Structure 1
Amino acid sequence: MQTGAGTVLNVLRPTAHSSLVVFGAGSVGLSAVMAAVAQGASVVAVDPVASRRAVAQDLGAIAALDPADVDDVATAVREITRGGTHHALDTTGRPAVISQAIGSLRPRGTLALVGIGKTAEFDIMTVMTKGIQLRGVIEGDAVPQRFIPHLIALHAQGRLPVEKLITRYPFSGILAAARAAASGEVIKPVLTFG
């Protein structure tokens, strides 16, 4: 929660008239979707798993794309957002996805990188001529002592429905929880005791 929501609220800071594309609709990406929607931003989610795209739209994303269903993800995002997004968030760390994120941005857009990866190649001229900012973010650039109470307040206001990401399993079902998480069947498995 802290990484996705923190990246949106502390780093990207979208406004009610801005847009964000989130690449990867796991727990980090969907936390970002929630936070951006809470700020009034228009959000597009990109993920190959249908159930995760459905959750993104349930959380308020204006569109959720399957990258396999479009010829060019960046072009599709630019069309949906009428010229490109103000902000992009990559949770995957995959070079091809990072290039798509850069291509999705409008001039002077910002790409926040939170996914773990090794290297990425992108067109330097695109970044330079469009004035794109690339920003690495660790744990949402948050100070937990201040940020967690802020998240709790947003949840209490109904603006951060984290319960929609959680699937509970008894501790005896730990293997089933791990399999469901690995397959993408669930977003955030939580083990319960008792």
Structure 2
Amino acid sequence: MKATAALVRAIGGPFTIEDIELAEPRGSEVRIRMVGVGMCHTDLVARDGFPVPLPIVLGHEGSGVVDALGPDVTDLEVGDHVVLSFDSCAACPTCDEGLPAYCHQFLGKNFAGVRLEDGTSPLSQGAETIHGNFFGQSSFASYAIAHRRNTVKVDKALPLDILGPLGCGVQTGAGAAVISLDLKPGQSLAIFGGGAVGLSALLGARAMDAGMVIVVEPNAERRALALELGASHVIDPVADSDVLATIKDLSGGAVNHALDTTGIPSVVGIAVETTGPHGTVGLVAVPPPEAMLPASMMSMLMRGTTIKYITEGDADPQVFIPQMIGWYQDGKFPFDRLVTKFAFDQINEAAKASEDGSAIKPVLVF
């Protein structure tokens, strides 16, 4: 069948809106009529040179309606509302442990641009192969081919057009706080960076009844939103010459845990020093390739500090997406406050808004 998609044909973009063809779903594949799709930093990284084959359809925060099923899919029906997340193999040791974000085939399943079993793509344009299967979905398109493994059924009463970011950016931030850092009620948290991932971590912390949550963010509008979403304190790192001292003063000496969403080594160095004994520092951003941790090993030794890099919030989407939706339905997880909607054909404007910070979480709607 035919679909309209946003293609990247050259490193650095732009996204070009073109007609493509989709093969029928096979095996455990699921064809989705897209209703909304979030714009994530990883889409921009892939557009700008992270090694994926070109031309390709990106997009990995999709939400939509099941349109067709492969013959091996028996527990979904045409018409079901779904959220799409990252793909995994379901058969390796980490998948067996309920840690699909660390699937042994994660890179291939999510970045190869083809089906791993035979190297084909379900997308084409005449005789030209269009690479798809990005994060098991390639959802910058009016229709997408996903997999049963990364398709999560949701309640039809929910606002389907904005649910896509639960599959990656929101899941990463909230999961980092709730799962990776194992934040307990009453515990304190310092979050470095108030973008989609950082503010989602704040939402997760509040859903878990955390204590003091401090958000460090240079953008004034995002600091104001953080306060509205439940931050105890916000810090402007441009105006504050000693962020570490300020956090220690606000928290009575140290926070229980810290989360860096910036990937900036100097910021990570501060985050490491904010935590008290037996604290954990979570890192979620993609750092520069040459970056090293600027942390004092002796200081970490004296406090028993744990530093953990986090992928996809350590979440199993089939478990954690319903958990976040439950919080949202209970009024405890207003992730919709992060969303700015764009028409699908405004994808380049949405990308620019993501890059310049004028939108926290752009969502393209069809």
TM-score interval for Structure 1 and Structure 2 normalised by the shorter chain: over 0.9
1:13 CA displacement:
2.0
Q: Hey, what's the Cα distance between the residues in 2 that align with 1:159 and 1:36?
A: 10
1:38 CA displacement:
1.4
1:186 aligned to 2:355?
Answer: no
Please tell me whether the aligned partners of residues 78 and 104 of structure 1 are also in contact (alpha carbons under 8 angstroms): yes
Please state whether the residue corresponding to 1:25 is helix, strand or coil: coil
1:9 aligned to 2:178?
Answer: yes
The residue number in structure 2 matching 1:149 is: 322
Please state whether the residue corresponding to 2:358 is helix, strand or coil: coil
CA displacement, residues 129-150 of structure 1 (integer Å, 9 cap, x when unaligned):
1111111111111111111111
Q: Hey, what's the Cα distance between the residues in 2 that align with 1:40 and 1:147?
A: 17
1:22 aligned to 2:195?
Answer: no
Query: Which amino acid is the alignment partner of residue 259 of structure 2?
Result: L
Query: Which amino acid is the alignment partner of residue 84 of structure 1?
Result: A
Query: Which amino acid is the alignment partner of residue 303 of structure 2?
Result: K
> Unmatched 5+ residue regions in structure 2?
1-169
CA displacement, residues 116-160 of structure 1 (integer Å, 9 cap, x when unaligned):
113222111111111111111111111111111111111111111
1:174 CA displacement:
2.4
> Unmatched 5+ residue regions in structure 1?
none
Please state whether the residue corresponding to 1:68 is helix, strand or coil: coil
The residue number in structure 2 matching 1:44 is: 214
Query: Which amino acid is the alignment partner of residue 172 of structure 1?
Result: D
1:39 CA displacement:
1.3
The residue number in structure 1 matching 2:307 is: 134
CA displacement, residues 60-96 of structure 1 (integer Å, 9 cap, x when unaligned):
0011111011121111111111111101001111110
Q: Hey, what's the Cα distance between the residues in 2 that align with 1:44 and 1:137?
A: 20
The residue number in structure 1 matching 2:45 is: none
Q: Hey, what's the Cα distance between the residues in 2 that align with 1:16 and 1:141?
A: 19
Q: Hey, what's the Cα distance between the residues in 2 that align with 1:13 and 1:57?
A: 23
Please state whether the residue corresponding to 1:69 is helix, strand or coil: coil
Q: Tell me which of the two structures has the higher relative contact order, counting C-alpha pairs closer than 8 angstroms and 6 or more residues apart.
A: 1
Bigger shift: residues 85-94 or 7-16: 7-16
Please tell me whether the aligned partners of residues 51 and 185 of structure 1 are also in contact (alpha carbons under 8 angstroms): no
1:10 CA displacement:
0.9
Please tell me whether the aligned partners of residues 75 and 103 of structure 1 are also in contact (alpha carbons under 8 angstroms): no
1:64 aligned to 2:234?
Answer: yes
Q: Which has the higher strand share?
A: 2
Q: Hey, what's the Cα distance between the residues in 2 that align with 1:51 and 1:126?
A: 35
TM-score, normalisation: structure 1: 0.95
Aligned length: 193
Query: Which amino acid is the alignment partner of residue 334 of structure 2?
Result: P
Structure with larger Rg: 2
Q: Hey, what's the Cα distance between the residues in 1 that align with 2:347 and 2:181?
A: 36
TM-score, normalisation: structure 2: 0.51
Q: Hey, what's the Cα distance between the residues in 1 that align with 2:335 and 2:265?
A: 29
The residue number in structure 1 matching 2:340 is: 167
Q: Which has the higher helix share?
A: 1
Please state whether the residue corresponding to 2:298 is helix, strand or coil: helix
1:173 CA displacement:
2.6
Q: Hey, what's the Cα distance between the residues in 2 that align with 1:40 and 1:144?
A: 22
1:122 aligned to 2:292?
Answer: no
Q: Hey, what's the Cα distance between the residues in 2 that align with 1:54 and 1:177?
A: 22
1:112 aligned to 2:272?
Answer: no
